Amino acid sequence: MGSYFGISTILVLCLLGYSANAEVFRVPGAPGSDITQALLKAFTSACQAPAPSQVLIPKGEYKLGEIAMTGPCKSPVEITLQGTVKADGNMQGKERWVVFEKINGFKLNGGGIFDGEGNAAWRTNNCHKTFECKKLPISLRFDFVDNADIRDITSMDSKNFHINVISGKNMTFDNIKISAPAESPNTDGIHLGRCDGVKILNSKIATGDDCISVGDGMKNLLVEKVVCGPGHGISVGSLGRYGFEEDVAGVRVVNCTLVGTDNGLRIKTWPSAKCTTTASGIHFEDIILQNVSNPILIDQEYCPWNQCNKQKPSTIKLVDISFRKIRGTSGNKDAVKLLCSKGIPCENVEIGDINIEYKGADGPPTFQCSNVNPKLVGTQVPKACSGGSAVMAPGSSS
């Protein structure tokens, strides 16, 4: 049974965008209390409702333990978080905090905050240094969620990734705020893989790892009007670490701003890759850089912690890649590095109208090329393939 309200409450719900006829399941609990079971009960009731319904978490600060809200549901479900939910500070060994899975027709909104309470966990996290590490929970997981609209929420201080999206279709993330200190390890903002038709819009991401990271199998991703920084930039990859990966096709990053990030726009694949896949149709356009290190980077020799064989070239094929209208300032002299695989050189890479300045004492900005013959459109500052040794793709001219 849903909770029923008086006329004044119904008026407030209408002003918030609810239908007066919709059934609303309000999560009970005093501020400071643990609402895990109450939320699970409310979601289960909403999921079984014959018509679209809402789950309402009112203003206030609440404790929330590990929870999985699982469909399929009989009708679309909307969860409105107006308050703040806080994770247990000690969740080492767990791989998830809040999970939404197997739901078709889903909304999450309300202006509330998911606080991962990551401070204590970061001190014990060495996953950025070694594969052999104890896992920490991802704050928000969306697994097999289709036709979803997630907007107006905040994720702060996640122990691991803030948001992980896997195997979803037709999803929109709008006005998402993500925050964690620059030194917080493995706190990717939004990581996506094996999804089709995802939009990330009008969002601000400040964290300790990639603001947005794109895994294998991703298709038709649009990232637009996102401010990133601090963090490690916006990355496609890493690709090729595992032996069962799928192709990436159709990634557009447009009208975004990167501020003080360790990397900018990056595509990274492993040498001695365990699979042979293709990443194609990856386009970055109209990007503003503010003191961004490695602003444009294709790195097909990505090998963290030296746990791979760089003598074996990457077997990930990169084709139809473009960087257009990229402008601003670099935090180091490596403004552009296109380090493609000597085994499978990059194909159809376009550099159009870039203007990246660097004022450091170690010299002017450089544009390095290896195993690639980029198509140049408009002006390039710095001059294309001007830094280091330019190793061109077979059959190309410098």
For residue range 74-116, list pLDDT tens digits in order.
999 999 999 999 999 877 778 999 999 999 999 999 999 999 9
Interval 44-62: pLDDT, tens: 999 999 999 999 999 999 9
Residue 181 DSSP symbol: -
Residues 86 and 21 in one domain: yes
Task: Please say which residue of 197, 230, 261 terminates a domain.
Answer: 197
Task: Please say which residue of 149, 164, 197 terminates a domain.
Answer: 197
Residues 15 and 119 in one domain: yes
Which residues make Cβ contacts (< 8 Å) with residue 132, sequence separation at least 6?
Answer: none
Looking at the domain assignment, is residue 203 inside a domain? no
Number of domains the chain contains? 2
Looking at the domain assignment, is residue 386 inside a domain? yes
Place of tokens 């247990």: 88
CA atoms within 13 A on the CB side of 34: 7
> What distance in Å separates the CA atoms of residue 45 and residue 2, rounded to the nearest whole number?
8
Burial of 388 (0-12, 13-18, 19+ CB in 10 A): middle
Q: Whole domain around residue 218: which residue ranges?
A: 210-398
Task: Please say which residue of 136, 167, 197 terminates a domain.
Answer: 197
CA-wise closest residue to 31 among 68, 82, 71, 79: 82
Active centre residues (catalytic): 232
Reduced to 3 states (helix: H, G, I; strand: E, B; else coil), residue 330 is strand
Residues 108 and 243 in one domain: no
Residues 165 and 214 in one domain: no
What's the Rg (C-alpha) of the chain? Answer: 23
pLDDT at residue number 91: 76
Max Cα distance, the chain (Å): 76
Contact of 174 with 198, CB cutoff 8 Å: no
Looking at the domain assignment, is residue 75 inside a domain? yes
Residues 259 and 173 in one domain: no
Residues 396 and 305 in one domain: yes
Share of the chain above pLDDT 70, in %: 90
Interval 258-272: pLDDT, tens: 999 999 999 999 998
CA-wise closest residue to 323 among 363, 272, 377: 377
Residues 251 and 162 in one domain: no
- CATH value at residue 367: 2.160.20.10
Reduced to 3 states (helix: H, G, I; strand: E, B; else coil), residue 93 is coil
Per the document, the length of the chain is: 398
Contact of 295 with 264, CB cutoff 8 Å: yes
